[in-house]
A and B are shown apart, each in its own frame.
Chain A
Amino acid sequence: MQSNATPIGNRHHRLWMYQAMVQSRELETRIKTIYFEGKLPVFNMAKGPIPGEMHLSVGQEPCAVGVCAHLRPSDFVTATHRPHHVAIAKGVNLRAMAAEIFGKETGLSHGLGGHMHLFDASVNFSCSGIIGEGIAPAVGAAVAMKIQGRDDIAVSFMGEGATNQGQFHEALNLASLWKAPVVFIIEDNAYGISVSKAESTSVASNADRAAAYGMPGVFVPGNDPDAIYEAAGEAVARARAGGGPTLIELETHRLEGHFVGDTVEYRPPAELESLATLDPITLFRARLEADGHDGAELNAIEAEAISLADDAIAFARNSEYPAAREAFAHVFA
């Protein structure tokens, strides 16, 4: 299997984080362009090489890399309908992921799942298109690994909207009750489609909700990969050491719409303007350079990410579609 990023052990974790962020962005930039192929000028969601809905994680990359930098392939991760950045940071095969997004035979699931249903058992990654669905399975996986005597952990990524689902509260109670080795990551991008967090959530900070379940709650502002890395590191270490679950709330930014084609007219103009200054990749690169990292090395990382993204897209485009029998092949064991 081709890997997306140099294993973290071979590269300083900050450079690995930069690499994985850029990798996600480069792939998604291409996906966004290709999404409109065949859909214009008469826009029809069913048409083109990437049909259906498309939810991009542009802007939210720090959440994925700051957390996944601490994870092994054997750790279990569940993500959301906006899964690409987490999948890439978790080490999901880039070519197979791209091919799945195109619905091809060479895709992770032979085209059965699509962009909202990426499963890669080799790195214990999965996601779901329904809000809050991944939280309880992460608790279950964590408890299972504890029973099996492993020091692997589970991580559940969710949006801030998912915290208003009953499943969130039920799963957090279970996790605390069973001292499950699990970390809950809230990617707070401030909007559930069009409804802002302020209009949907009775508390200002979701980290406060951890108190209701007797677990530590941490709020990390700033969409900052370094700060996320630090907070996640503590939580992951606690989980591995048998210290139980942690809830981490990450402030992040959805620089695109809820889905590709969303005009985001529900967001105030000033807020939309400010997004231009909040690209976490630009900001992180500037900080790395300020900290003395060689610009040439960062350029080389970017070039590598571009090359891998191009390769994955070409692989997806050139792959065959699945045969009709494939649809019937995986309903039962």
Chain B
Amino acid sequence: MTDLTIPNDLWDDDSEGSIASWFFSDGDDVSKGDLVAEIMNEKVTNELLAPASGVLKILVAAEQPVSKGQVIAQIAG
């Protein structure tokens, strides 16, 4: 089981961001390196890639606020 975490250096300050889009659904197979989500901080969009291959379990829905360091999904290999 690999956590999908919002990296601590994705933006500078400690403000919250949000999940703009999930590119796979809960339960989908993803491959390591796949673009799985877009994370926004203010008007800036950042990409999140799958850190491992496996089945995606989404923990935080799109358009919800998120913080740096937060685990937003898990990938079961």
Contact = CB atoms under 8 A, between A and B. Distances in A.
A42 B42 contact: no
B43 A43 contact: yes
A194 B22 CA distance: 29
B15 A40 contact: yes
B18 A36 contact: no
Interface string A7-39: 000000000000000000000000000001001
Which of B42, B43, B65 has most A Cβ within 10 Å? B43
A166 interface: no
A148 interface: no
Interface residues of B, number: 13
A40 B16 contact: yes
A152 to B, nearest CB: 42
Contacts of A45: 43
A262 B66 CA distance: 21
Given A41-B16, A41-B18, A36 B42 contact: yes
Contact of B65 (A42, A260, A262): A42
Interface in A259-308: 260-263
A45 B16 CA distance: 17
Q: State which size class the interface on A falls in.
A: 10 to 19
A41 B44 contact: no
Interface string B35-50: 0000011111000000
A261 B65 contact: no
B58 to A, nearest CB: 17
B65 to A, nearest CB: 4
B28 interface: no
A39 B44 CA distance: 13
Contacts of B42: 36, 39-40, 43, 261
A155 B58 CA distance: 57
A43 B41 CA distance: 7
A42 B43 contact: no
A39 B40 CA distance: 12
A261 B41 CA distance: 10
Contacts of B43: 43, 45, 260-263
Contacts of B16: 40-41
Contacts of B41: 43
A41 B63 contact: no
Interface in B22-60: 40-44
A15 B17 CA distance: 43
A262 B43 CA distance: 7
Contacts of A36: 42
Contact of A43 (B40, B64, B66): B40
6 contacts: A40-B16, A40-B42, A41-B16, A41-B66, A42-B64, A261-B42
Interface of A: 36, 39-43, 45, 260-263
10 A-B pairs closest in CB distance: A261-B43, A41-B16, A42-B18, A41-B65, A41-B18, A43-B43, A43-B42, A263-B44, A43-B40, A42-B63
Given A41-B15, A42-B18, A262-B43, 17 more contacts: A39-B42, A41-B16, A41-B17, A41-B18, A41-B65, A41-B66, A42-B63, A42-B64, A42-B65, A43-B40, A43-B41, A43-B43, A45-B43, A260-B43, A261-B42, A261-B44, A263-B44
